[in-house]
A and B are shown apart, each in its own frame.
Chain A
Amino acid sequence: MSLREVGAVTGVGETAYSRDSGRSVLALQLEASLNAIRDAGLDPKDIDGIIPYAGAVVAEDFVTNFGIPDLRFSATTPLGGASCVAGIQAALAAIKAGICRHVLLPIGRNGSSGGRIGMRVQQMPQFRVVGEFEMPLGAIAPAQLYAPMARRHMELYGTTSRQLGEIAVSTRGNAILHGNAMMTRPMTIDDHQASRMISDPLRLLDCSLESDGGAAIVVSGAEYARDLRKRPVYVTGIAEGHPDSPSAITQRPDMTRLGLAKAAPKAFAMAGVTPADIDVAEIYDCFTYIVLCQLEDIGFCKKGEGGPFVESGAIRLGGKLPINTHGGLLSQAHVVGMNHVVELVRQLRGEAGPVQVTDAEIGLVTGYGDMGDGSVAIMRGG
């Protein structure tokens, strides 16, 4: 028994991305959701499952605003930035169990206008351990908590800041082509190298954006997906993975390996494909280093070879493995990676416009969250 081809992404939707939406988080999520539901050719009242991002908005808000008559399934997948892709796994499991047919996965935030990340993260349950033992010492923000992973990778494997810069530069180029991206100014490696150091080795241009906006998808059971408005994009492999010492990177036996390293082999086995079969990948990019580490953990290259891999041009449009064709969290917007799922679906439908990867048939999307949780989905066009 597996979740292979149990369901498909049938609808995707987004809002515009900005620094100050002037709207409520719920309003952003409803707009993105309505766009996704209509993209699928469904009516909001067809939705019978909801997996909201853990936080400000709950399933009941959608029942109320959409007048959903019979919500049969709701859950959250609290894996931080790995939540969205992990949510697809939960949706497919519920569909496989016969609980529901069409599951809405909405996300939205006023991540720019709604206040900056500071002391408030100490109160979040997933940060409780570092909140008590590390934040009082001055290790507060993700950039500071993650930087030692990047530093150790550099010391062990010779990875350089310029190689991280290639990820930022390549991603920016895609954002500029894409159209719905916050960052539209060209970036060079020199720009990256000149950007101020935040927490060494992570510079400002290694860090993702703070954004206002929303994105949503609809996941439908395979038998209900076929006759909808758009070609279904089938999920062929999916898994989540939690690293050892999931709440404290400090205590992790190997801090250069993420939860994704446990999940990726399961997803590939389920899908019956290998990394060489992937035509396009949307890789969660809260920081450039996290992209590099995931490329290794997935198996696109060996552990330690991520630097030369990206430096070869492999991840650029037209390269061996184009990634983050929409501009990612680094240059499009930070909507916790749902924009990565949206983009992968558009790539596999052939709807990606100026950033379309030629003949993209099989794609992969990841999530990364909190202190190293991972999730990955492999999809194919219908």
Chain B
Amino acid sequence: MTNDSYDKPMPEPTPDSAPYWAGLQQHKLLLQKCAGCGRIRHYPRPMCDACYSTDVTWVEAAGRGKVHSWTITHHAFVPGFRDELPYVLATVDLEEGVRMNAQLRGADPVSLRIGLPVRVDYERAREGLTLPILRAEG
């Protein structure tokens, strides 16, 4: 796939989120950990809402979680997703206490339930962009 043919929304990393996107390239799910109070937060942002520190370390998530909710999309709102229909978008409670959202691959729709164990995997979307995906555990 050439860059010109990629017709899905592209992330525009900021100084606050660049390590997250770089981590995905390395197949690591990196989360911000407040250097002031130790709280883990997601999505990446400049400030800890508990202690207002802007210092962070980045910790690698275990990549395991449980389904919190989901939707099965049957309509492509931009053309780039047409070939993937229908696809499952799952919201997942990670073991680290924050949530993530990603496409859940290979799960039978009737098996979907709150609490379904999933693990994080990675998929190269295009040059320079790796996205997280989810797979049902086991």
Contacts and interface: CB of A to CB of B under 8 A. Distances in A.
A94 B69 CA distance: 42
Contacts of B69: 148-149, 151-152, 155, 255
Contacts of B10: 136
A98 interface: no
Given A138-B84, A140-B77, A250-B91, A132 B43 contact: yes
B35 interface: no
Given A122-B9, A148-B70, A149-B69, A199 B78 contact: no
A273 B20 CA distance: 49
A139 B12 contact: no
B22 interface: no
A133 B30 CA distance: 13
A314 interface: no
A63 to B, nearest CB: 36
Given A129-B43, A251-B43, A138 B87 contact: yes
Interface residues of B, number: 37
Contact of A133 (B43, B78, B103): B43
Contact of A197 (B17, B72, B98, B131): B72
Given A148-B71, A199-B72, A248-B43, A137 B103 contact: yes
Nearest to A141: B77
A132 B43 CA distance: 10
A198 B8 contact: no
A199 B73 CA distance: 4
Contact of A138 (B70, B91, B100, B103): B103
Interface string A125-137: 0000101111111
Interface string B30-59: 000000000000110000000000000000
Given A138-B8, A148-B91, A199 B102 contact: no
A23 B87 CA distance: 38
Contacts of A134: 101
Contacts of A139: 89, 101
A144 interface: yes
Contacts of B70: 148, 151
B75 interface: yes
Size class of A's contact patch?
35 or more
A131 B14 CA distance: 12
A197 B73 CA distance: 8
Contacts of B98: 251
A136 B42 contact: no
B11 A133 contact: yes
B61 interface: no
Interface in A195-215: 196-202
B70 to A, nearest CB: 6
A147 interface: yes
A119 interface: yes
Contacts of A137: 89, 101-103, 131-132
Nearest to B90: A148
Given A197-B75, A200-B74, A250-B101, 9 more contacts: A118-B78, A122-B9, A131-B12, A138-B84, A140-B78, A148-B71, A155-B113, A196-B74, A199-B89
Interface of A: 117-119, 122, 129, 131-141, 143-144, 147-149, 151-152, 155-156, 196-202, 248-251, 255
Interface of B: 8-14, 17, 42-43, 68-75, 77-78, 81, 84, 87, 89, 91, 98-103, 113-114, 125, 129, 131-132
11 contacts: A133-B101, A137-B101, A137-B102, A137-B131, A140-B78, A201-B71, A202-B71, A248-B43, A250-B100, A251-B42, A255-B91
